[in-house]
Amino acid sequence: MVHSVVLTGSTGYLGIHLLSDLIHQENIDQIICVTRNSDHDAFWRTIQSQIDAFKVPLDISEAKSKVEVVTIDLVNKHDSIKPILDQYKETVKSVHHLACDTAYGKPIAYFQPWINCTKALVRYCMDPEYPKHLYAVGSYGQRLMDDLPSDCEEDFYWINGYFQYKRWLYNYMQAKMDEGLKGTLFEPLYIIGATDPGQAYAVWRISRMFATLGYAFEYAMGFTPIEMLLENYMLTLNHPDKVGRVMAPFIPHRIYVNRALKKLLPDLKVIDYEEFRNLVRKTMPKNLKYFGPNITNIIESLKIDATFHPLYDASKFIEGGQEDYLLTCSGLEEAVKLGLEDRKKFDHIDKKIVQ
């Protein structure tokens, strides 16, 4: 049956990819894209910019033929969400909620607008006469909060309101599903790909510091390739009865960023984490915030429990050297380039401080 969908966050990294996939779905005739910008021409310019930046296979004229742009201030006027979207309630069958601030080091109060926004969209989806599926994107990183060390004041990068909001989203959707809400919560790890948000990602900023200093530590991370997330997303959308409440698609192994970097920077030296912290403290103290004392314990304590759609073949991401996937990411390549440029500014660093 042909139907309409609502999409928030269409101009984001994941959003622009999902928009392209939704437009190419034959059973979707209209995509209602929510934007806070009352200038719809500006919205389309942003869409075109993101298409170009991330090399998304989407023609802007094709997008305009299916997309209706609706102005709603999700942050400041959440009470207007349902009244405005009610005009589409008979034709909309699913809501795709991707919009969210990704700021780190902010308290949970900073994310209250997104809590309000999510509640409003859930009310919209739980209309007793016209119920809809809700597909939302959280973060598997919220599970880091299960194993917090007792003293984590310096680890604000990991322990912050962003993950607290994602934990709230997880619990709230579970509770609403118990009340009858239909849908799926996706919990990816770092979403990476051949093109990605680059240095906006902290993992690439840290890689840049490795390249700058010529030193690194054993930095294990979890990643979700953008194609893995999208393939699982679309399988879930087209086969909603074959999945549970939560999907967590990601490479089911920790990947060592330093090992991938070593292939690009043969002179990279791997040292003990405390030695690395000491090096950063002496050379670039403003960046010490990225390297709290518990960062390695927090990452290693996270249980890696990937969940794929039953029709998805994840073998291509399980077999072989996973570090090689990082080498295909433009963000890592850019981080190394910028790091080597920065290194020229740090020629005065006394490498003897690393014993």
Q: Please, what is the average pLDDT of the chain?
A: 90
pLDDT-derived band at 228, boundaries 50, 70, 90: very high
Cα atoms in the Cβ-side hemisphere of radius 13 Å centred on 266: 0
> What pLDDT shows up at residue 224?
95
pLDDT digits (tens, 9 = 90+) for 235-268: 999 998 888 899 999 998 889 999 999 999 999 9
Residue matched to tokens 């953008």: 226
351 pLDDT higher than 70: no
Confidence at residue 103, expressed as pLDDT on a 0 to 100 scale: 81
Tell me the mean pLDDT in the region 269-293. 92
Kindly state the percentage of the chain with pLDDT values over 70.
93
User: Per the structure block, which two tokens stand in for 209?
Assistant: 């510091």
Asked if pLDDT for residue 145 goes beyond 90, the answer is no
Q: Assign 17 a pLDDT band (cuts: 50, 70, 90).
A: very high
Question: Which pLDDT does position 2 carry in this prediction?
Answer: 78
Q: How far apart are CA 74 and CA 34, in angstroms?
A: 8
pLDDT in the model for residue 354:
47
Nearest to 44 by CA among 67, 14, 75, 13: 67
**pLDDT confidence band for 141 (50 / 70 / 90):** confident
Residue 15's closest CA among 191, 268, 185?
191
Query: Above 80 in pLDDT, residue 321?
Result: no
pLDDT level of residue 227 (50, 70, 90 thresholds): very high
Higher pLDDT, 321 or 101: 101
Once rounded to an integer, what is the mean pLDDT over residues 326-345?
93
Task: Report the percentage of the chain scoring pLDDT > 90.
Answer: 71
First CA to last CA distance, the chain? 67
Instruction: Give the pLDDT band (50/70/90) at residue 13.
Output: very high
Cα separation of 118 and 114, whole Å? 6
The mean pLDDT of 78-97, rounded to a whole number, is 94
Reported confidence tier of residue 143, pLDDT bands at 50, 70, 90: confident
Model pLDDT, residue 293 = 84
What is the distance, to the nearest Å, from the Cα of residue 271 to the centroid of all Cα atoms in its chain? 29
CB neighbour list of residue 55: distance below 8 Å, 6 or more residues apart:
194, 195
Where are the alpha helices (H) located in the chain, listed in sequence order? 13-23, 40-54, 60-66, 81-85, 112-125, 161-178, 202-213, 226-238, 257-264, 273-283, 295-301, 315-318, 323-326, 330-343
Tell me which of 1 and 122 has the higher pLDDT.
122
Higher-scoring residue by pLDDT: 205, 296: 205
The pLDDT of residue 104: 76
Residue 158 banded pLDDT, cuts 50, 70, 90: low
Residue range 45-52: mean pLDDT, rounded: 96
pLDDT in tens, 179-203: 999 999 999 999 999 999 999 898 9
